[in-house]
Structure 1
Amino acid sequence: MSYCLNPKCHDRRNPDDARICQSCETPLLIQNRYRLLRPLRELDEWEPAEVFEIDDHGTRRVMKVLKKVMLLSLFQREVETLQRLDHPGIPKVEPDGYFTVALPGAVEVHCLVMEKIAGTDLDAWLANHGPITQAEAEDWLKQLLELLALIHQAEIFHRDIKLSNIMRRETGQLMLIDFGTVRQVTNTYLAKIAGKRDVTSVVSPGYTPLEQMNGKAVPQSDFYALGRSIVALLTGKHPIDFTEDEEGRLIWQSEVKTSITQAFAQLLDEMMAPFPGQRPLSAEVILNRLAFPLPPPVPPSTEPPERRAIQWLLIANILVFALQLLIGGQWLQARQRSSVRPQSATLNLVMPELPERPRRVQLPL
C-alpha cells in the first residue's frame, strides 16, 4: 500500500502500483524516488507533523512531514542539528534530505528524510521487558550522557528527553530522536531569559523541569529529564505517577524493582534536583561520577547522647593524664641532668691580718 502525501486528502491509501492518488491525484512518487509505505504515528489533522516509513529505491527510510508552517523554524533547526552532528546515536540525514513539496490546492509541506532505525523506543521496550537492573541503567545512562556531551558541546540542548524519544537498536546502541525541540545557546536566547521575554517552551508531563515550563530551559534541563527517564526504567512507572516531597524532589527509591547502590540513587537525585544550580554542571561530571562513585555516607550513631558524653569525657581525662605524664617525665629528666652536673670550683681568698691600729689616749693637761 502507498500513502498520499497530501494531508488534506480524504482517502490517502492507495494500491502499491498506483502512480497518483486515486482521491486527490497527488503524485505518489516524491522527488522521483520516495514512496510513503505506512504511517509510524496515527494520522491526525491536528498534529503539526506526520512520520512515515518510506521506500527509497529499495531502502527503508523515515520521512517527517511538517504541516504547520508556524513551526517551520523548529523544523529547520532539527534539520540543521541532524546534518551537523555525526554520531551512531543520532539519526543520519543526507545533505539533500530536506526539501519542500508543492501540493494541489496551494498546499506546501516540508519534508525531512532520515535513516530508519532497526529497533524500538524505550517506552515500548519497557512495556515488553519490564524494569531494568542497575547495571543496565548505568550502561544506558553512560550512552545517553555521551550523546548529550556531544550535543551540549555543539552549544545546543535537546529539551524533550523521554522514553519515547530514545530508541534502542537491535545491537543495544541507544539513540536520541526527535530533535525538533532543540534550542541553541545563543546570546539572543540568553538575553531573552535575562529579560524574561517569551521563549518557546516544550512540556512533556513528568519529564520537564519547572524552569523549562517557564520558558527558561538550560542544558541542565536535559539532565533532569534524563534522570527521570532512568527512574522510569528502574521502576516501571511513569514519572508523573510518583509523589514529590516539600522541596519538589521525586520520592522513588522504594519503587525500584532490583537493588541499587546509595551512590547511584544519590546521583540520580542530583540530576533530578528541582533547581538547575543543584544539578551536575556537565555531562562529563556525571560520567566521572559513574566511573568513580562517591563513598557511602557514614551512618549516624544510634547511641544515646548521655553515653556519648561520658565517652568523650573519659577520652578527655585520658588525654589530660597523658599530658601530665609527659610534662612530669620531662621535668624529672631535667632534674636528673642538673644533679650530675660538676660543681664549679670556688676561689678562697685569705686576707692577711692587719696590725691592730693603735688607739689614741688623751692625757690630761
Structure 2
Amino acid sequence: MVTKLIRDFCDPGYSSIYLVDDNGTPKILKVLQQRYNNKPRIIQLFRQEVEVLKNLEHPAIPKADCYFQHPVSNGKSLHCVVMEKIEGCTLKEWLQQHQPIDQKQAIEWLEQIVNILNFVHQRKYLHRDVRANNIMIEKSGKLVLIDFAGAIKRDLIYKTYAYIRKVISAFIFTKTETDGYTPPEQNRNYCLPQSDFFSLGRTFVYLLTGKEPKDESMYDGKYKVLTWRKYAINGVSERSGNLIDKLMTPNVSERYKNAREILEEIRIIKEELDANKLKIL
C-alpha cells in the first residue's frame, strides 16, 4: 500500500512524501522530485539524512531504514529514502488548532527539545533547522525532532572551514538577514551548537505568541530587535523570558555555551513554577 501524504514533513519542497506499508508496518517514503536530479548538492543532502539518522539512535529522533535509487521509464532514477513514521503532527500544525502555549508548557517542551539537542551535539552533529515545522508531537505528548537533511557533523574539517568563514566574515561585510529562525552566523556559512539554540529560542517565541519571529508587530528590522514578551498570550515571567532571549541573542558568545547550562536554568525555573514564585508579566 502506498498513500501520498498531503502533509509534508517540513521538507523544503524537494521531495514528495508517501505513506507505505512495509509488511504491516507503516513507514515514510520520501522521493526526491526529478527536477532536482541534476542538482548534486540537493541529492547529497537528501542521501545524507539516512547516514545522519543511523548515527543518532534516540527515541525522540526518527529511525532511517535506507536510501535507494529506483529506475523509471525515462531512463532516469528516483532517489528514495525510507524512514520511521512518527504518529502525530508538527508543532506548527498543533498551534494552528490550539491557542499559543503558556510558560509552563513552554518550559516542559523546551526541556524535551534541549535534551534531544544535547544528545545530537554530544555526537558532534548540528541540526541547523530547528523550528515548529521540524518538531512533532505524539499523542502521548512526547516531542520528536525531525528533518536532519541539513544536519552537519562538526568534525575537524568542518571546524576548520567554520573558523575560516568566521574570520573572513569579520573583515568582509556580508548580508545576514534571515527568515527569522536562522541565526546570523549560519547565514554566513558557519555554525556552532549555539546556532541551534538561536533557532530554538525563535521557535518558542512563535509557540508563545502565535506570531512568526519576523512579524512586523514584534520585529524591528532596522535594529534587529525582537520585542515579543508583551505578545505572549498567556504571559511569561521575567526569568523565562530571559532564558528565551539568551537563547537567541545575535551575538553567539552571549548565548548559552551548551545544553547543560540551559537544562540547569530550566531546572531552577521549574522549581520556582512549582512553588508559584514566578510572577507573570
Aligned to 1:131: 100
| 2:234 pairs with 1:265 | no
* C-alpha displacement of 1:98: 2.2
- Is the Cα contact below 8 Å between 2:131 and 2:203 reproduced in 1? yes
Q: Which residue, out of 36, 39, 49, partners 2:5?
A: 39
Taking only the aligned residue pairs, the percentage that are identical comes to 35
- Is the Cα contact below 8 Å between 2:31 and 2:78 reproduced in 1? yes
Give the secondary-structure state (helix, strand or coil) at the position aligned to 1:216: coil
- Is the Cα contact below 8 Å between 2:163 and 2:190 reproduced in 1? no
- Residues 85 and 193 of structure 1, relative CA distance in 2, 3 Å threshold: closer
Aligned to 1:31: none
- Residues 177 and 220 of structure 1, relative CA distance in 2, 3 Å threshold: same
Aligned equivalents of 1:194 and 1:124: distance in 2?
Answer: 37
Q: Which residue, out of 258, 267, 274, partners 1:291?
A: 267
* C-alpha displacement of 1:162: 0.8
Aligned to 1:205: 179
Aligned equivalents of 2:236 and 2:51: distance in 1?
Answer: 39
Give a deviation string over 1:160-208, Cα, whole Å, max 9, x none.
111111100011000111100001112222222233399xxxx971111
Aligned equivalents of 1:270 and 1:249: distance in 2?
Answer: 13
Of structures 1 and 2, the larger Rg is shown by 1
Aligned to 1:26: none
- Is the Cα contact below 8 Å between 2:92 and 2:132 reproduced in 1? yes
Aligned equivalents of 2:260 and 2:163: distance in 1?
Answer: 27
* C-alpha displacement of 1:125: 0.4
* C-alpha displacement of 1:116: 1.2
| 2:153 pairs with 1:184 | yes
Aligned equivalents of 1:229 and 1:139: distance in 2?
Answer: 14
Aligned equivalents of 1:238 and 1:195: distance in 2?
Answer: 32
Specify the code of the residue in structure 1 equivalent to 2:248: M
Aligned to 1:230: 204
- RMSD (CA atoms): 2.4
Specify the code of the residue in structure 1 equivalent to 2:190: K
- Is the Cα contact below 8 Å between 2:69 and 2:80 reproduced in 1? yes
Give the secondary-structure state (helix, strand or coil) at the position aligned to 1:292: helix
Aligned to 2:173: none
Aligned equivalents of 1:245 and 1:102: distance in 2?
Answer: 48
Number of aligned pairs?
253
Q: Which runs of 5+ in 2 are unaligned?
A: 169-176
Specify the code of the residue in structure 1 equivalent to 2:45: L
Q: Which residue, out of 143, 165, 179, partners 1:174?
A: 143
| 2:43 pairs with 1:72 | yes
Aligned equivalents of 2:256 and 2:165: distance in 1?
Answer: 24
Q: Name which structure has the greater RCO, CA cutoff 8 Å, separation 6+.
A: 2
| 2:113 pairs with 1:144 | yes
Aligned equivalents of 2:254 and 2:43: distance in 1?
Answer: 34
Aligned to 1:256: 232
- Is the Cα contact below 8 Å between 1:40 and 1:53 reproduced in 2? no
- Is the Cα contact below 8 Å between 1:249 and 1:274 reproduced in 2? no
- Residues 224 and 104 of structure 1, relative CA distance in 2, 3 Å threshold: same
Q: Which runs of 5+ in 1 are unaligned?
A: 1-34, 297-365
Specify the code of the residue in structure 2 equivalent to 1:61: K
Aligned to 1:51: 17
Aligned equivalents of 1:187 and 1:41: distance in 2?
Answer: 37
Aligned to 1:282: 258
Return the TM-score normalized by structure 1. 0.65
